[in-house]
């Protein structure tokens, strides 16, 4: 009699349907349910919930795994080019060295990988770079001598306050900027700078939902890009395929952006 009537707790009801109930309580709970209709009803409702959840999503596990999630693919794509796992780690170490002042940078970068976002953003940015950098007469929509107007206009269009870095110290003059469609359909801001020998660098930035990342490099035959995400904005600095020079430029830009966001927070 004691067994049959011993009180059953709500925790035990959950454990019962989740298969977590110790064997020696199984019978007590079963008996309890025959005499407690309200609890039996609860159990039925919870089971129905579980059924509905499994009916809704269970089949996903039987779908063929898409190409991009195949392990060998992920391993291979990480090895291709200069970005092996070791290279990524090395890049993080370089970033730590270069951006030593930015606290938490490496920790954030190491924990947040977003290859899709990286690929999408750098592809867009490099396309824009290649398209506009050859333009002699109309490389930009707003010329660099209207910096204040350009900053205001682009900030309004992208929906967050932009900062247009000052790169005179490394010999680059602002050519100007333009508005572009971003990889996610939102507006992207695009600025161009020019050096004394005519070489051009561009900054492409747009909002992203990707987590913050460490500096990542993407090199192509004639152009290259550095990418990072900070505070929900993805930045891509593109330029000629000279990694050291590009990194120097990126470092200068990053420092100014970081100083600015540091001031705000």
Partner 1 sequence: MAGFRQNVEATIPALRRYARALTRDSDAADDLVQDTLVRALRSEHLFHGGDVRSWLYTILTNLNRNRLRSLARRPTLSPIEDNDAPDMAGPEAGGRDIERALATLVEDQRNALLLVVLEGLSYREVAEVQGVPIGTVMSRLARARVQIKAYLDGERPTLRRVK
CA distance 237 to 202: 6
CB nearer to partner 1: give 54 or 259: 54
CB nearer to partner 1: give 116 or 152: 116
Minimal CA–CA distance to 214: which of 127, 78, 105? 105
Minimal CA–CA distance to 202: which of 211, 214, 190? 190
For residues 200 and 184, the answer to whether their CB atoms sit within 8 Å is no
CB nearer to partner 1: give 42 or 96: 42
**Most distant pair of Cα atoms in the chain: their distance:** 96
Q: Does 84 bind partner 1 (CB under 8 A)?
A: no
Q: Does 54 bind partner 1 (CB under 8 A)?
A: yes
- Of 2, 23, 60, 148, the residue at the interface with partner 1 (CB under 8 A) is 60
Stretch that binds partner 1, among 114-122, 123-131, 166-174, 197-205 (CB under 8 A): 114-122
Minimal CA–CA distance to 228: which of 259, 192, 254? 254
CA distances in angstroms from 31 to 3, 11, 73, 149, 221, listed in the order given: 9, 16, 54, 77, 74
Q: Does 107 bind partner 1 (CB under 8 A)?
A: no
- Of 25, 31, 87, 115, the residue at the interface with partner 1 (CB under 8 A) is 115
Q: Does 1 bind partner 1 (CB under 8 A)?
A: no
* Shortest distance in whole angstroms from residue 240 CB to partner 1: 29
Minimal CA–CA distance to 258: which of 66, 77, 78, 100? 100
Binding site for partner 1 (CB under 8 A): 10-11, 14-15, 18, 20, 42, 45-46, 49-50, 52-58, 60-63, 65-66, 68-69, 71, 74-75, 78, 85, 88-89, 111-116, 159, 207-211, 232
């Amino acid at each position: 009699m004691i067994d049959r009537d011993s009180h059953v707790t709500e925790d035990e009801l959950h454990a019962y349907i989740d298969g977590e109930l110790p064997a020696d309580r199984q019978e007590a709970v079963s008996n309890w349910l025959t005499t407690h209709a309200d609890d039996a009803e609860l159990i039925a409702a919870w089971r129905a919930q579980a059924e509905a959840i499994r009916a809704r999503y269970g089949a996903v596990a039987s779908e063929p795994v898409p190409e991009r999630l195949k392990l060998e693919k992920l391993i291979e794509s990480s090895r291709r080019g200069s970005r092996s796992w070791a290279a990524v780690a090395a890049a993080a170490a370089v970033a730590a060295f270069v951006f030593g002042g930015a606290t938490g940078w490496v920790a954030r970068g190491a924990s947040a990988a977003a290859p899709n976002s990286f690929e999408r953003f750098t592809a867009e940015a490099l396309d824009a770079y290649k398209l506009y950098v050859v333009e002699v007469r109309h490389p930009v929509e707003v010329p660099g001598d209207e910096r204040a107007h350009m900053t205001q206009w682009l900030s309004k269009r992208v929906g967050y306050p932009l900062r247009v870095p000052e790169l005179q110290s490394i010999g680059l003059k602002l050519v100007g900027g333009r508005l572009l469609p971003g990889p996610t359909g939102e507006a992207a801001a695009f600025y161009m700078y020019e050096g004394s020998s005519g070489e051009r660098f561009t900054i492409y930035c747009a909002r992203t939902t990707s987590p913050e990342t460490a500096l990542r490099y993407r090199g192509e035959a004639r152009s290259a890009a550095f990418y990072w995400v900070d505070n929900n904005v993805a930045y891509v600095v593109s330029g000629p395929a000279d990694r050291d020079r590009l990194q120097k430029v990126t470092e200068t830009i990053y420092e100014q952006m970081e100083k600015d966001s540091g001031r705000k927070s």
